[in-house]
């Protein structure tokens, strides 16, 4: 049972990193993108990701553990750095920024799905994870509906 809890805590911390990366990515995108509708949507998505991280931290604390607040995982950090560089080199190229957001959300969907499929993750956490995954999928669909992808 203890190994299942450790695995659950590790997976939750991984999702916290993803949520934090998404929050920072969307905050950066909202600053850089020129379209006001995207600015507004990206700001909303950043707030959602912040809420997701808080919810996940709450789940970790229910296991009498501490969440790892490292500001995002290494893959997310690389994505943020790439996005920062891309926005500098493209002088605020909205298409490049939007495509970076799509890439980030597609990666988040994949990671959330893997956690949901992991039989060793405590079932009590899965409704929250599933709900967050649906929010990420909705954000991704929203972005894609406004671009030709």
The number of folded domains in the chain is 1
Identify whether the C-beta of residue 45 lies closer than 8 Å to the C-beta of residue 26: yes
Helix (H) or strand (E) holding 145: helix 126-145
Instruction: Return the percentage of the chain with pLDDT > 90, whole number.
Output: 55
Q: Is the pLDDT of residue 131 over 50?
A: yes
Q: Does 115 score more than 70 pLDDT?
A: yes
Query: Which pLDDT does position 76 carry in this prediction?
Result: 57
pLDDT digits over 37-87, tens only?
Answer: 999 999 999 999 999 999 999 999 999 998 876 445 555 555 565 566 455
Which residues, including other chains, have CB under 8 Å from residue 126's CB and lie 6 or more apart?
116
What is the pTM assigned to this prediction?
A: 0.86
Percent of the chain with pLDDT over 70: 81
* pLDDT tens readout for residues 8-17: 999 999 999 9
User: Cβ contacts of residue 101 below 8 Å, gap of 6+?
Assistant: 25, 26, 29, 42, 143
Residue 137, domain extent:
2-145
pLDDT of the residue at 128: 98
Domain CATH code at residue 72: 1.20.1260.10
pLDDT at site 91? 57
């Amino acid at each position: 049972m203890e190994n299942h809890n450790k695995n659950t805590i590790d997976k939750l911390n991984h999702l916290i990193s993803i949520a934090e990366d998404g929050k920072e990515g969307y905050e950066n995108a909202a600053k850089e993108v020129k379209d006001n509708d995207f600015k507004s949507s990206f700001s909303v998505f950043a707030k959602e990701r912040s809420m997701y991280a808080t919810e996940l931290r709450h789940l970790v604390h229910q296991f009498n553990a501490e969440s790892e607040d490292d500001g995002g995982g290494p893959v997310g950090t690389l994505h943020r750095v790439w996005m920062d560089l891309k926005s500098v080199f493209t002088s605020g190229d909205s298409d490049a920024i939007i495509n970076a957001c799509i890439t980030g959300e597609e990666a988040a969907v994949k990671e959330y799905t893997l956690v949901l499929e992991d039989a060793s993750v405590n079932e009590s956490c899965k409704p929250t994870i599933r709900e967050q995954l649906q929010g990420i999928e909705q954000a991704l669909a929203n972005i894609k509906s406004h671009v030709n992808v």
